[in-house]
Structure 1
């Protein structure tokens, strides 16, 4: 395995979607266009969901039309919650991936997408058909992939059963999500290692949430488990709407880059573009 094939997925959409004030479209475009120059594998840049549910993302279509894809190797991902959103998303040639949040917690699935896991599985099938027809790839996020705070049944077998059902739709990328930041490093290692060893033909990623104190232990656990796909957001903003601890948020991409660079595990990034992105992030998320 090459030391240089780790994929970083930058998730400004996750950072922006819960921000308390509306971020102007022009500001989003400027930020995303700068991020496109950094060298991330993928940019999670928007979502096609109900604007009533996520008003911050109501301008995703307008944003996509203004992104400069001519001088970047970074691919775009947008989040969808149903077939209607997917039907809109697949119309954009610049979008490579659609992301769907599938929760192994029935309670969270109902809260997040107003559906049961069984109904969501049917949505995955319909969205995958659209993706195949339009030459897109579907990324399924396994929300509550390390447990949940609701008392819903959870164990390795439950996750494996849902994964098996998802893979019947020829899903090739799964990302385990620590949705409310409750996972321990041991849990991250155990579940990530289980999926990677049992599904060698599937790309397994992690979308972890953390505190300033435990981000490194969680990342080390995933890396030791063999994970080569990591989601993050500059400044560690957002990503934890259900958590009571305001210190819990997305993995801070800048910290991940620093640590992975020390380990010699990252391809070269454009440091000037990263610095400019950090300046813009500080301006937006203040």
Structure 2
């Protein structure tokens, strides 16, 4: 396997992770988790979203939370935005980096932002211009890149066409998202390899869910194709509230453990990350899907049990 020496983990637990939780964390509780992630050396973090609080009440305190953490230059703080209004709110609060999300699938996009994919692309020019005029770094996530829960398969050529249209604008990164955990490793390798080969000078990432148990395998497939940026959620919590059965982001500590065991550096302190995951479990009041926090690192050794004689 030809793998990169180092990858970037883009932590989405405070946004994508918390948006499906029935318990709404306070600003102080989010701050506690943020400081733990900082101690774990997380370098990129999606801290919240500027969406209507009635649609996603878990994100209603995003602006207040950001004003407490915006002075941490060692962490790139990114806000999710669904439209130009969200970008304007981000700008009003001094946010310097945003992530715009729309879907490759028309049906999913209409469920999510009440527009077709083509309408989102048409409106993107205004959003891109606003970001450029205000010196805001603009990332784009293309949801349902590997399949749609309403329409089924999404053709690779549709993704390539969307990327070509996006690259007409001033954007920093494009992330291909498996929004409901439909992807498989062969599919991931083929699509990401095609993308990396055709758009060699641009930065791409991947966002996988572990809904059907293939999240980590899909990361390995993307890594082998040349992707070096992966989204992950502390504890494995979260998912898309507008798609049935979309729970199960890949778990950050599981991803970091796997990559480090493979000799791929993440620069993240796994012990601190596990500590953060344990605290998240306490705050949410239920067991989390992640495995490493339960079982411990594979390097952990156990004493030989005493032989019992009758």
TM-score norm. by structure 2 comes to 0.85
Structure-2 change in CA distance of 1:129 and 1:233 (3 Å):
same
* Preserved contact between residue 182 and residue 212 of structure 2 (Cα < 8 Å): no
* Preserved contact between residue 216 and residue 250 of structure 2 (Cα < 8 Å): no
* Preserved contact between residue 132 and residue 170 of structure 2 (Cα < 8 Å): no
Aligned to 2:150: 150
Paired with 1:104 and 1:275, the residues of 2 have a C-alpha distance of 34
Aligned to 1:82: 83
Give secondary structure in 2 for the equivalent of 1:64: helix
2:106 aligned with 1:106, yes or no? yes
- Deviations 1:38-86, CA, capped at 9 Å, x for gaps: 222310110001111111101100000111634x522011101111110
Aligned to 2:170: 170
Which range moved further: 233-242 or 179-188? 233-242
Runs of 4+ in 1 over 4 A off after TM superposition: 1-4, 242-246
Aligned to 1:276: 275
- Deviations 1:104-150, CA, capped at 9 Å, x for gaps: 10001111011121221133222222221222211111111012122
Aligned to 1:47: 49
- Deviations 1:212-246, CA, capped at 9 Å, x for gaps: 73233111111111110000011111114355547
TM-score norm. by structure 1 comes to 0.91
Q: Tell me, which stretches of 5 or more residues in structure 1 are unaligned? A: none
Paired with 2:282 and 2:123, the residues of 1 have a C-alpha distance of 37
Aligned to 2:19: 17
Q: Tell me, which stretches of 5 or more residues in structure 2 are unaligned? A: 287-310
Aligned to 1:115: 115
Give secondary structure in 2 for the equivalent of 1:77: strand
Q: 1:65 aligns with which of 62, 67, 76?
A: 67
